[in-house]
A = this chain, B = another copy of it.
Amino acid sequence: MTLKELSDLLGLSPTTVSRALNGYPEVSEATRKKVAAAARAHGYAPNTRARALATGRAMAIGHVIPISAKHEMVNPIFADFTAGAGEVYSRNGYDMLMSVVSDDDEEQAYRSFATKRNVDGLIIHAPSLNDQRIPFLNDLGLPYVVHGRSSNATAPYAWVDVNNTRAFQRATELLLDLGHRRIALLNGLEHMDFAARRRAGYEAALAARGVTPDPSLMFSGEMTEAQGHDLTRTLLARPDRPTAILVSSMIMAIGVRRGIEELGLTLGRDVSLITYDDDLSYFRNGSDIPVYTATRSSVREAGRRAAQMLIDIINGKDSPTELLLEAELTLGMSTGPARRD
- Inter-chain contact A48/B100, CB cutoff 8 Å: no
Q: Smallest CB-CB separation from A287: which chain B residue? A: B226
- Do the beta carbons of B76 and A282 come within 8 Å of each other? yes
Q: Answer yes or no: A161 CB below 8 A from chain B CBs.
A: no
In the complex, which residues of chain B have a beta carbon less than 8 angstroms from the beta carbon of A47? 53, 116-118
In the complex with contacts A46-B116, A74-B80, A224-B284, A100-B90 CB distance below 8 A? yes
> Whole-angstrom distance from the CB of A304 to the nearest CB of chain B?
11
A43 touches B111 (CB 8 A): yes
**A284, B225: Cα distance in complex, Å:** 7
A75 at the B interface (CB under 8 A)? yes
A60 lies within 8 A of chain B by Cβ: yes
Q: How many identical subunits does the complex contain?
A: 2
Q: How far is the CA of A192 from the CA of B83 in the complex (A)?
A: 21
A257 at the interface (CB under 8 A from B): yes
Contacts of A82 in B (CB 8 A): 65, 74, 98, 100
Instruction: Say yes or no: is A37 at the interface (Cβ < 8 Å to chain B).
Output: no
Q: Say which residue of B58, B72, B79, B254 sits within 8 Å of A49 (CB atoms).
A: B58
Interface of chain A residues 59 through 102 with chain B (CB within 8 A)? 60, 65, 67, 71-76, 78-80, 82-83, 85-87, 89-90, 95-101
Q: Is A31 an interface residue (CB 8 A)?
A: no
Does A231 sit within 8 A of B, measured CB to CB?
no
Q: How far is the CA of A117 from the CA of B43 in the complex (A)?
A: 13
Q: A155 interface residue, CB < 8 Å from B? A: no
Whether a CB of chain B sits under 8 angstroms from the CB of A261 is yes
The verdict on A43 contacting B1 (CB below 8 Å), with A79-B76, A82-B100, A100-B90 known, is: no
15 further A-B contacts with Cβ under 8 Å, apart from A86-B98, A261-B261, are A49-B117, A53-B53, A73-B281, A76-B280, A78-B79, A82-B98, A83-B100, A87-B100, A95-B97, A96-B100, A224-B283, A225-B283, A251-B282, A254-B254, A257-B258
Q: Can you report 28 residue pairs joining A to B where beta carbons are below 8 Å apart?
A: A43-B111, A45-B112, A45-B115, A45-B116, A47-B116, A48-B116, A48-B117, A49-B117, A50-B53, A71-B281, A72-B281, A73-B282, A74-B79, A74-B80, A76-B282, A86-B101, A89-B100, A90-B100, A96-B97, A96-B98, A96-B99, A97-B97, A223-B282, A224-B282, A224-B284, A226-B287, A251-B283, A257-B258
